[in-house]
Amino acid sequence: MANRDEAIDVFDQQEQMGAAVTAFVYNEPAAIFGFVSIWKGVAEAWLVADDVMRSMPVTFTKSAKQVLDISAISMGLHRTQITIRSTDTRAYKWASAVGFRQECLMRKYGTDGVDYFLMAR
């Protein structure tokens, strides 16, 4: 996102378009997973995670897999997709670890003209 206000606007819009789950660590919100329904059986997932999640990567990754699996079942999804900034190698590796696979490079997809990967599971 170009700035914090833009990010908040996007998340407010996404909240209205699909399910969301908040993960807490020590009674504090640490991550929000959301799902925007594109059409029947297909959703785009999004994630906002606090830095505390970096201190527990195995737990966070296992929990994310469970959220994705449960959401696929409860929402009747046969496809969940995400977009990852092409230069964000950490996010790409993590997305691969939770079961997403790259499908294509979307050139100049970001609001700032940056390339993104489309990944799906």
- Give the start-end residues of each E strand in 10-115: 20-25, 28-39, 42-49, 79-85, 101-106
The domain that holds 115 is classified in CATH as: 3.40.630.30
Question: Range of 111's domain?
Answer: 4-120
Tens of pLDDT, residues 15-55: 666 777 788 888 888 888 889 999 999 999 988 888 888 88
What pLDDT is attached to residue 14? 60
DSSP state of 88: -
Looking at the structure of the chain, the number of domains it has is: 1
**In percent, how much of the chain has pLDDT > 90?**
55
